[in-house]
Structure 1
Amino acid sequence: MQEINLYLATTLKKLRQEKGWSLDKAASETGVSKAMLGQIERGESSPTIATMWKISTGFHQSLSSLLEPPAAESSNTRIRPPSAQPTSLASDGAPIVPIFPYEERFGFEMFELTLQPGYERLSEPHIQGVTEHVVVLSGELELLVDGEWIQLSKGASVRFSGDTPHGYRNCSQAPTIFHNILHYAQKGA
């Protein structure tokens, strides 16, 4: 986790400087307080996934671009054995594991999420043009799409606009595990 926080600290500061934003401007664009952004940049805070989503949306970046550097573009084949999978990021009852980080040439990032029983999260819209693809691996997932909760069981999949408000919840007594692929609209497309 410390490695991710250090990468996040340097990446956030670099992004802010590239845009010429003050901490006040970054706070305004992301909805994250100036104090929290400063703590993150100094490596003094481990932000929640919800905070990291706000930062990525405010900076118009993928979430995974804040977590690890992009892979070398030498090959289309990438194998990540279980021992090389990144550690899960603690997230208030919903650990998230980045499986494939965002690469511009592919236009997507992939995560595995585990929702503990009783977990609910309402998500703010992502960057304009983001489409989410959810595949339930185990358990039962309720997904808020277009203002309505829909129930998905093991093996079910759904695609929806991630640039609108949406949410995830687990009303069952067992953990729910699902893959979430976020596809970003191509710039200029």
Structure 2
Amino acid sequence: MIDPLVERIATRIRTEREARRWTLAQLADASGVSRAMINRIERGESNPTAVVLGKLSAAFQLSVASLLAQAEEAPEVTEPAAAGVRRPADDPEWVDPETGYRRRQIAGPRFPAELAEIRLPAGARVPYPAAAFAFLHQLVWVLEGRLTFHDGDTAHELGPGDVIELGDPAPRVFANTADTDCRYAVLLSRTDRP
């Protein structure tokens, strides 16, 4: 049986590709992800890793958060929810099958900014291409643990309470070199230009 979230991610990626009238080969060329892998993802046979999602989102000029947020929204939700409390159990959590990276979308898809909570296991390293950060303002706030954040050629060691606002798009790496998990929040807002 296919995990419902993996199935929605598959549908979201296929919808984005088809909206651009791209073939699998065209998306493979634009993203650097093999045609065979994209095909397996779109059929719901493979849960993409964070690295693969980063490459696909860059090709679509979307943030990983946007790609996942729209996939995480339950298909039956058509009206904005009434103001109220959401519990962690109410929010889908996506888990990277390669690193164990866990991502929970905090802000709903109709909120004007994207907010996600990330849990990065000890020893995990997740790189993203510069194109995954185009058209975005992004802020990373470390809540627990240590995060080694590579912004292009510059590495920043971040601890609890530290915040980094990202500048122009650059290749970035989120790494946890500590022996305990790191929990951080990512806040994104779109802009008209990279």
- With normalisation by structure 1, the TM-score equals 0.84
For residue 51 of structure 1, report the CA deviation from its aligned partner. 0.9
The corresponding residue for 1:153 is: 159
CA drift at 1:186: 4.0
What 5-or-longer segments of structure 1 have no aligned partner? none
For residues 106 and 81 of structure 2, what CA distance do their matches in structure 1 show?
17
* Distance (Å, rounded) in 2 between the aligned partners of 1:18 and 1:166: 28
In the other structure, the counterpart of 1:184 is 190
Paired AA for residue 68 in structure 2: S
Equivalent residues of 1:140, 1:172 under 8 A apart: yes
Assess if the C-alpha contact under 8 Å between 1:130 and 1:161 holds in 2: no
Residue aligning to 1:12: 13
CA offsets 1:55-96 (integer angstroms, 9 cap, x no match): 122112323245224865646846421221212423514222
**Contact 2:134/2:169 (CA < 8 Å) preserved in 1?**
yes
Counterpart AA for 1:20:
R
User: 5+ unaligned residues in a row in structure 2: which ranges?
Assistant: none
Matches within 5 A, 1:45-64: 45-61=46-62, 62-64=66-68
Separation in 2, partners of 1:9, 1:89: 15
- The count of corresponding residues between Structure 1 and Structure 2 is 186
Counterparts of 1:169 and 1:12, CA distance in 2: 26
In the alignment, what sits opposite 1:120? 125
Offset at residue 166 of structure 1 (A): 1.5
Matches within 5 A, 1:16-31: 16-31=17-32
Structure-2 change in CA distance of 1:4 and 1:180 (3 Å): same
CA distance in structure 2 between the aligned counterparts of 1:75 and 1:101, rounded to whole angstroms: 9
Match of 2:72 in 1: 68
Tell me if structure 2 keeps the 8 A contact 1:98–1:111: yes
Identity, in percent, stands at 24
Determine helix, strand or coil for the equivalent of 1:5. helix
Cα distance change on mapping 1:66 and 1:27 into 2, 3 Å:
farther
Please point out which of 92, 104, 110 is paired with 1:97.
Answer: 104
Look up the SS of the partner of 2:95 in the other structure.
Answer: coil
Call closer, same or farther: CA 1:176–1:23 in 2, change over 3 Å: same
Moved over 4 A (4+): 70-73, 75-78
Q: CA deviation at 1:11?
A: 2.1
Structure 2 counterpart of 1:111, from 94, 111, 116: 116
